[in-house]
Structure 1
Amino acid sequence: MEIAKKITLLFAILSAVIISLLSGFVWYFSNDFAFEDFYKRLEARVNIAAQIKLYEDDNNDVYAKMRNQYLERLPAEREFIIEAGKPEIKVDRVLPRSFYDRINAGFTARYRADNHFYAGKYFKNPQKGYIVIVSANDPVGFRELKDLQKILIIGFFLSVILSFLVGWKFSNYMLMPLRNVIKSVKKIKAENLHMRLDVKDGSDEMSQLAQTFNNMLNRLETAFETQNNFISNASHELRTPLTIISGEVELAMKAKDDSEKQHNALLKIKDESERLNTILTSLLGLAQSGFNGKNQPWEMVRMDELLWEIKDAVNQVHPNSKIEIDFSTLPDDEDLITLRVNKNLIKLAITNVVSNACKYSDYKPVTITLESKTNLLSIAITDQGIGIPESDIQHIFEPFYRASNTNKFKGYGVGLPLSLNIIRLHRGSIAIKSKEGIGTEIKIILPIKG
């Protein structure tokens, strides 16, 4: 059964239960209040009948006259005056034992059979005790209750039908965003993983669901790109050093009597072997970064402290580097610079960017600026290096791609793609601004709340 139908059915059932309880509440108190007045009129007649019939009083004639003149007779009204203690009590019907027990206890008793009402009370004159009972019909009150009963029954069914229709409209309205999500997800296939769901502003469940799908698509796209890049680049990048190694081995084998040529060949083989090892390490790192990082722990990390660790790490590799860290815009609340990250991966990503900045600026000063605002933390790495040609900027995150002005610098074009994959795993992004001959600024943006 579809969720919309389940919601509609549940809504209709709950509405029926609530309406039933409300109708029962109305019926119970209407039934109680409708007959209360009539019982009081009967009890007044019980007292008047006892006064007139059982007590000798000079005013009894006046009471009887006023009673006949001003007190209307109720439909089918009858009076019964019974001597107390008689085993056989005769009225127009057999009344329950509880009715007489209440009278004998000194209270006014009430009883109703359909539309016929009874009220009775015990009285004692100087000679004997008597039970006075007055009975009558109440056609008006009974008819009003019957009409109320019909109204409640009709209202119940109409309300249930209306609640079903409203529930159907309501469920369709509430599930419309979910249907849109399903419709959008069905359009996304392996060949268009770049598509994303439209995330509305807000923190409701639909927005969270869409954002969760987008995060999953980010990871899938990264994994697909990593796989494709690995396959397409591995064969090309690995073939070159292997070809060189193979050629140098053949050259060394031919130059049996020339030790200098053999030595040069072995040096070339050593260099290409190291290059091959570096490429393999980079490819494996690039491939592993395409997964979700569950093999490594995620933890809360203060990013200002991590930047000091990165500065020390880069200084060890590039002793001539000049790295300055700018904390002038840091907030007072340390929670705004503390992120839940995979520390090893995020450290690798930022280290790659900082190391590139130092290398491609001939070790001129590199500034790292940490800033936190609007639930985002940004790390800007600014150098005064060679910059990136405008035509190359769109390709620098492609594996093994190197800008056209980097020929004199050693590298393999794997660092930035690896950093991008890692930042994507953390639901972040990388922005770049560069001008050839002036310098480059790369800004890493990460969400503060995961």
Structure 2
Amino acid sequence: MKIRTRLIILFTVLTIVILSLFATVIFQSAKKSREREYYDLLKKEALTKANLFFNARVEKQTLQQIYRNNRKTLNEVEVAVYDTAFVLLYHDALDIDFVKEDHRMIRDIYSKGQIQFFQQGWQVVGLSYDFDGRRYAITAAGYDQYGYNKSDSLLVSIFLVFGVSILFIVVAGIFFSRKAFEPVADMISKAKSISVSNLDMRLPGNGSKDELADLAGTFNEMLDRLESSFDAQKRFVSNISHELRTPLSTIITELELSADNGLTEQQYTAAIRNALNDSRRLARLANSLLDFAKASYDPSEITFKPVRIDELLLDARQQLQKADPTYKVDIHFEGDFENDEEISVNGNLYLLKVAFANLFENGCKFSDERQSSVSVSFGKDITLHFSDHGIGIAPDDLPSIFTPFYRGQNGSFADGNGIGLSLTQKIVGLHKGTISVTSTPNLGTTFTVMLPAIGPPVNSLLIKL
């Protein structure tokens, strides 16, 4: 069921309940008012007849004749008078007596002074009346036909107004809900037309600052992220294809040459060596892509635990020198620490080692002496400065060095695929840290990494490994 339909039903049901309560209160109030007014009328009629009978000493026959004459045109009140011995002194029409008074009723009148009750739609009152030092019981009964007709007419009017009101409310609810949800319908229509081929389309705003405008803005922001993600994915696939095509083409060429039986042994060896180098390049690219994918996981899916920075740096240096023994890495600690927490971060061991190894390798391969160094300082954050004295980075390249597959002007100096620095930035970001770079061409480059430490600040003391 659509929200619009649910709102119409809810609004209609709520209105029905409110109108029902309102109509019930009005009808019950009118009913009680009619009863109260007719009881007052019966009391007045009873007292009037009693005064005529006792004070004015009007003959019984005359009073009864008046009653019969009036009864032909209207519902006349039936009055009866009793003494304390339950002797009937007067009755308007004994032959059509409706109340049928008994000893118990007369006793209640004398003891309570006044009673009133319903009897088959008739209203009855009983009054105690004093005359010449004696007490009498007077009863008056009548059927309020006029009042009942008014009540019936009011009830019919209530049902008529109730039905018309409900019909009007349903129609108005449909109209206003349609008007209210028109912007939503426009958003749905627009959203259905958005696909991969036209991610640049956006939902229209309604020009106000209501919830629908917030919804449209939030959806458009999501589309901005999706568009950026798709564009990055396209560039990523294009760059991968480019990176894979070159070594694969070289391997195919070398293998085709090796298929020629006229080659010498030295030529076969050179072809195999070239194919092997290109295969290793492909393997490094595949490993880099795998690490890049791991660094792109949702942080909630990555295991974090306390890891020591010093051990990570030593492991990264050992890994790098195992791959290329010509690389030299120096590690310096600017300060002393008293416990593991002061030199530990909450991180993923594998990813941090990959990031540090990338920074070591980047410094070594772009310097003539194949050397890189890192200095570590402790405080609220653990700060690592990865430095080299290599060829540096051109100022025009600095804003783009963390872009995947970007190769700057120094790309011809050493082999690479442009993934290492972008992967390092992702890993540092996953660990809620920051990375920045400063570089001077032909003098060297320094990458500064800041990671939140687990332990408190410590004093400074120079230690060299």
Q: What's the TM-score bracket when you normalise by the shorter of the two chains?
A: 0.5 to 0.7
Unmatched tracts of structure 1, length 5 or more: 54-59, 326-336, 373-378, 445-450
| CA separation of 1:80 and 1:8: change in aligned 2, threshold 3 A | same
Name the residue aligned to 1:133: 140
Give how far 1:27 is off: 1.2
Name the residue aligned to 2:418: 413
Name the residue aligned to 1:24: 24
8 Å CA contact retained: 2:331, 2:373: yes
TM-score (norm 1): 0.58
Alpha-carbon distance in structure 2 between the residues aligned to 1:18 and 1:81: 46
Alpha-carbon distance in structure 2 between the residues aligned to 1:195 and 1:324: 53
8 Å CA contact retained: 1:380, 1:443: yes
Deviations 1:168-206 (A, max 9, x none): 455346535533542442342112336566899999798
* Among candidates 264, 277, 283, match of residue 277 of structure 1: 283
| CA separation of 1:423 and 1:311: change in aligned 2, threshold 3 A | closer
Name the residue aligned to 2:456: none
1:308-319 equivalent positions in 2, closer than 5 A: 312=313, 317=319, 319=329
| CA separation of 1:169 and 1:347: change in aligned 2, threshold 3 A | farther
Name the residue aligned to 1:328: none
Which stretch shows the higher mean deviation, 176-185 or 248-257? Answer: 248-257
Name the residue aligned to 1:11: 11
The yes-or-no answer on 1:402 pairing with 2:407 is yes
Give how far 1:133 is off: 2.4
Give how far 1:221 is off: 6.4
Give how far 1:131 is off: 6.8
8 Å CA contact retained: 1:193, 1:221: no
Name the residue aligned to 1:80: 79
Give how far 1:274 is off: 1.6
* Among candidates 242, 250, 257, match of residue 244 of structure 1: 250
Deviations 1:383-435 (A, max 9, x none): 7784565378469635x3312234334421234666789999x9x9x998988
8 Å CA contact retained: 1:255, 1:262: yes
Unmatched tracts of structure 2, length 5 or more: 64-69, 110-114, 321-328, 336-344, 365-371, 452-465
Name the residue aligned to 1:164: 170
* Among candidates 104, 126, 135, match of residue 121 of structure 1: 126
Alpha-carbon distance in structure 1 between the residues aligned to 2:274 and 2:27: 101
TM-score (norm 2): 0.56
| CA separation of 1:357 and 1:395: change in aligned 2, threshold 3 A | closer
| CA separation of 1:423 and 1:106: change in aligned 2, threshold 3 A | farther
| CA separation of 1:286 and 1:255: change in aligned 2, threshold 3 A | same
Which stretch shows the higher mean deviation, 316-325 or 18-27? Answer: 316-325
Give how far 1:19 is off: 1.1
Which stretch shows the higher mean deviation, 266-275 or 209-218? Answer: 209-218
How many pairs were matched up?
Answer: 389
The yes-or-no answer on 1:110 pairing with 2:117 is yes
Alpha-carbon distance in structure 1 between the residues aligned to 2:379 and 2:169: 56
Give how far 1:276 is off: 1.4
| CA separation of 1:421 and 1:311: change in aligned 2, threshold 3 A | closer
Name the residue aligned to 2:55: 61
State the one-letter code of the partner of 1:78: V
Name the residue aligned to 1:298: 301
State the one-letter code of the partner of 2:80: I
Name the residue aligned to 2:339: none
State the one-letter code of the partner of 1:119: V
Alpha-carbon distance in structure 2 between the residues aligned to 1:423 and 1:149: 78
Alpha-carbon distance in structure 1 between the residues aligned to 2:378 and 2:169: 59
Alpha-carbon distance in structure 1 between the residues aligned to 2:363 and 2:273: 30
8 Å CA contact retained: 2:204, 2:216: no
Deviations 1:78-122 (A, max 9, x none): 333277699xx9575856x9x9899478372433878xx532338
Alpha-carbon distance in structure 2 between the residues aligned to 1:80 and 1:287: 103
Alpha-carbon distance in structure 2 between the residues aligned to 1:276 and 1:357: 20
SS of the residue corresponding to residue 410 of structure 2 reads coil
1:32-431 equivalent positions in 2, closer than 5 A: 32-43=32-43, 45-46=45-46, 60-61=54-55, 76-81=75-80, 90=94, 103=105, 106=108, 108-111=115-118, 118-121=123-126, 132-135=139-142, 137=144, 139=146, 145=151, 148-149=154-155, 152-153=158-159, 155-157=161-163, 159-164=165-170, 166-168=172-174, 170-172=176-178, 174-176=180-182, 178-193=184-199, 207=214, 211=218, 218=225, 222=229, 226=233, 229-230=236-237, 232-248=238-254, 250=257, 256-258=264-266, 266-283=272-289, 298=301, 312=313, 317=319, 319-320=329-330, 348=351, 360=362, 363=372, 386-387=392-393, 389-390=395-396, 393=399, 397-398=403-404, 400-415=405-420
8 Å CA contact retained: 2:117, 2:125: yes
State the one-letter code of the partner of 1:18: I
State the one-letter code of the partner of 2:79: F
8 Å CA contact retained: 1:43, 1:119: no
Alpha-carbon distance in structure 2 between the residues aligned to 1:310 and 1:151: 90
Alpha-carbon distance in structure 1 between the residues aligned to 2:243 and 2:137: 120
Name the residue aligned to 2:342: none
Alpha-carbon distance in structure 2 between the residues aligned to 1:301 and 1:161: 63
Give how far 1:155 is off: 4.3
Identity, % of aligned positions? 18
8 Å CA contact retained: 2:397, 2:409: no
State the one-letter code of the partner of 1:61: N
Deviations 1:265-302 (A, max 9, x none): 55444332221112233345567888x76xx9637968
Give how far 1:42 is off: 1.8
State the one-letter code of the partner of 1:132: T
SS of the residue corresponding to residue 106 of structure 1 reads helix
Which stretch shows the higher mean deviation, 305-314 or 26-35? Answer: 305-314
State the one-letter code of the partner of 1:298: E
| CA separation of 1:433 and 1:270: change in aligned 2, threshold 3 A | closer
State the one-letter code of the partner of 1:27: F
The alignment yields a C-alpha RMSD, in angstroms, of: 6.1
| CA separation of 1:170 and 1:299: change in aligned 2, threshold 3 A | farther
Name the residue aligned to 1:334: none
8 Å CA contact retained: 2:79, 2:141: yes
Give how far 1:166 is off: 4.8
Give how far 1:161 is off: 4.6
Alpha-carbon distance in structure 1 between the residues aligned to 2:203 and 2:436: 25
8 Å CA contact retained: 2:401, 2:422: no
